[in-house]
Structure 1
Amino acid sequence: MRTVSFGMNISLDGYCDHTTFTPREELYDYFTEMMQDVDLIFFGRVMYQLMFPYWSDVARDQSGTADENRFAERLTALEKVVVSRTLENAQHHTRIVRSNPVAELMKLKQQPGGTISVDTVSMLPELISAGLIDKFNLVVHPVIVGRGRPLIDAGSLQENFNLKLVDSIVFKSGCVALHYEKQ
């Protein structure tokens, strides 16, 4: 059975608004390294549209820094599934799923392959409740923003979901990567 790993950048106060973070080169290296075992990314529509076509353009044009270009190349090359009822089309090795993300991820998890990276906040409570997320990789940025999308909406989980810290990395920028697994 494949491992399913959730990853997200968050502010110190728990928001996931990427427009409030200033990416550092060390984080592009970190995320590129994190994707080495990944062979499928499971997106929600909003996150997919934040990432594409921006990163595919960077990969094609080599318009970023060397670290950004490596990240863009790896991200663009991976197979992707995007869950959306409204997205008309998707590119860059992406398949659209219209309904039942839990059943889709469960089916994918049971297939042979590498790690599945889940990059969606909107479906996270549903996927956690179904027991589908094995690992959590959060990068906490040293900023308090007070607005945006919270990692988990209040009241969206029926019970606590206890995790075990297995690793942490402190970056020069002050960001902290936290790696958790299900207990």
Structure 2
Amino acid sequence: MEERSMTQATKLYPIGIQTFSEIINKNYLYIDKTEHVYHMTHSASKYMFLSRPRRFGKSLLTSTLRTYFEGRRDLFKGLAMERLETEWTEYPVLHFDMSLGKHMEKEQLERYLLSQLEQIEEDYGIHSDSPDSNIRLTKLIRHVYEQTGRQAVVLIDEYDAPLLDVVHEEKN
């Protein structure tokens, strides 16, 4: 146990790094929270909304969830998840990063979301001309399920970024 502590003490802190795979692959210090991820992903909840304060690890948690649902067992070596998970099922992950959706008008934000949808659609060989992001997302989830036979996991990172711009706006 003491040897592991010494090894962790010599690791660099992953300051500014929010990607689970990068932290693991580059051997940065990682505080193992994968037992919590395991319990979250094996609960009876079909949907989860995670709200935490700014700079509290939401993006790293989202990245950890993505890596887990992609079935990347190799990255969990030595972590709690390695001993807890026995199936390692790979799911299609639809990851939306809203971090660049700041300081945008409604139309710009809609185009930004549509561009993310378009990229994921391309990954699955889908083409859609619908300007409605709700319709496209619904079709994408259905298509991914039909193509893979597995339910899609939808992760939305930085969901609050576009909202923070308008929360304090005054009504005219």
- How high is the TM-score relative to the length of structure 2? 0.32
Q: Could you say which structure has the greater relative contact order, defined with CA pairs below 8 angstroms and 6 or more residues apart?
A: 1
Structure having the higher strand fraction is: 1
Greater fraction of residues in helix? 2
